[in-house]
Amino acid sequence: MHLERGRAGTAARQASVGKDRVVGTRQPGILIIVENLTVPLDRRVWQEACALRDAGYKVSVVCPKGGKYTAPYELLDGIHVFRHPLPIEARGPLGYAAEYSTALFFEFVLSVKAYFKVGFDVVQACNPPDLLFIIGAFWKYLFGKPFVFDHHDINPELYEAKFGRKGAWHRLLGFLERQTFRVADVAIATNETFRDIAIGRGGMEKDRVFIVRSVPDTSRFRRVEANQTLKNGRKHLVGFVGIMGAQDGVDLIVEAMNAIVREHGRTDVQALIVGTGTELPLLEQLTIERGLQDYITFPGFQSGTPLLTAMSTFDIGIIPDPKNVYNDKISMNKVFEYMTLGIPFVGFDLIEGRKMAADAAIYAKDNCPRSLAAQMLHLLDDQDLRDRTAAEGIARAKSLLRWDEERGRLLAAYETALGSKVSTATRPLAMPAHD
């Protein structure tokens, strides 16, 4: 930790003169590839891109089109953004293979376009999927561009959590993860567990793995005026913000609301479920089946002021992600965001979640919607508990979750990457290990 803080301090000092840094006679360039979400909607990636830009780097991003951001190319706040279509929305292993193959083709083409239009000295890939190392390997071994892996997701654990088994697909995902680390000159981890995976499973050297947490930039992410109409005339608003995939447990919110209304007889609680994802149509259908259309609102994806307005209106937040081998290891943006805004929240007792939140959250019994409902009502009905929990969240956010420190470690990671001596000789791929 002290070593990382030292590097962070060094990087921060270097950032102050970063605009004078050059590679040869050029401003150093970075290409970031992200497939999961467009920018600037991907908060983590956009914060990283802006931090690197502010430190004097020339930044390009390759990402999918999404929401209102559909321009194939734009210069956005000084960052070159190249976008590709995602014509396939996957369901099932074969669907994912088709989606990722299509996206990989577009990403490679756009990386070439970015190279000739803007230029870059380092390639950063943000998973999922663990296929982007193929593009990184091309630029590294043929053109000497260091490869930085920004490790967002642990796909072997995600597969196991979604399908309840390991098998051939699990082994393939483990193989692809190992190749990604093998190509990487530097890995960026979102928490200590991911750092351990990079060193243990990935074989990375300790001094080439940097923890950069996905904490909000409080200069932009802060409370605004609440909008009481979001409560639909009710006393309380419980809220969720995030992606709605099969593994995210948002159906448990619907079932918890069903228990609140049908079993507890409460008519004073409204739920606002903000976001989108493959499960959204199923969640809307489940809401209709439970007769909860008047109690649950799905406004879709939101960002910027509308998102902050919604979150500032929440009386409590909900993190419904079920306890499993995947969710126990990941750091969720929702935890950081709720604590930063002082939103008390209820969730299941996840290992990484408790490390971050501690007493800033109330915990329900594992994966039980009735327990989730009971804890939601317990928190809603106890104003003193809400105040204490909110205050604890704000205090922990101020002491533990400072973007300035995370930015320093990000810049230190790039100092290390640019200092790497990159061989253009290819390395043989390792054979997949057995379970």
CB-side exposure of 95: number of CA atoms within 13 Å? 8
Q: Give the 3-state secondary structure percentages of the chain, helix then strand then coil, rounded to 5.
A: 50, 15, 35
Is the preceding omega at residue 306 within 30 degrees of 0, hence cis? Answer: no
Across the chain, mean pLDDT equals 88
Cα–Cα distance, 313 to 329 (Å, whole number): 29
What's the confidence (pLDDT) of residue 18? 42
Alpha-carbon gap, residue 192 to 190, rounded angstroms:
7
pLDDT for the residue numbered 9: 43
Longest dimension (CA), the chain: 70
Q: Band the pLDDT of 413: cuts 50, 70, 90.
A: very high
CB 396 within 8 A of CB 353: no
Cα–Cα distance, 65 to 62 (Å, whole number): 10
Q: What is the pLDDT of residues 197-229, one digit of tens each?
A: 999 999 999 999 999 999 888 888 899 999 999
**Domains of the chain with bracketed CATH:** 2-215+402-418 (3.40.50.2000), 228-400 (3.40.50.2000)
Question: What pLDDT, on the 0 to 100 scale, is given for residue 420?
Answer: 56
**340 sits in which H/E element:** helix 333-341
Instruction: Point out the least confidently predicted range of 2-11, 65-74, 89-98, 152-161.
Output: 2-11
The pLDDT tens digits of the residues spanning 6-27 come to: 444 434 434 433 444 444 556 8
**Is the confidence at residue 267, as pLDDT, over 70?**
yes
Give the pLDDT score at 152: 94
Cα angle 32-37-39, degrees, rounded to a multiple of 5: 60
Nearest to 227 by CA among 306, 317, 343: 306
Q: Spell out the residues 6+ positions from residue 125 whose beta carbon is closer than 8 angstroms to its own.
A: 32, 33, 34, 132, 133, 135, 136, 147, 148, 149, 150, 180
**Is residue 429 pLDDT above 70, yes or no?**
no
pLDDT, tens digit (0-9, with 9 covering 90-100), for 294-345: 999 999 989 889 999 999 999 999 999 999 999 999 998 899 999 999 999 9
Specify the pLDDT at position 343. 97
pLDDT tens digits along 117-142: 999 999 999 999 999 999 999 999 99
Q: What's the pLDDT band for 162 if we cut at 50, 70, 90? A: confident
Report CA-CA distances (Å) from 66 to 3, 69, 120, 150, 276. 39, 5, 24, 21, 11
Residue ranges of alpha helices (H) inside 342-432 are 351-357, 369-380, 383-400, 403-418
Per residue in 274-293, pLDDT tens? 998 889 999 999 999 999 99
Mean pLDDT score, 161-184? 92
pLDDT, residue 7, reads: 40
Global pTM reads 0.84
**Confidence band (pLDDT; 50, 70, 90) for 265?**
very high
Backbone angles phi, psi at 404, to 5 degrees: -60, -40
Q: What are phi and psi of 180, to 5 degrees?
A: -60, -50
Q: Is residue 256 scored above 70 in pLDDT? A: yes
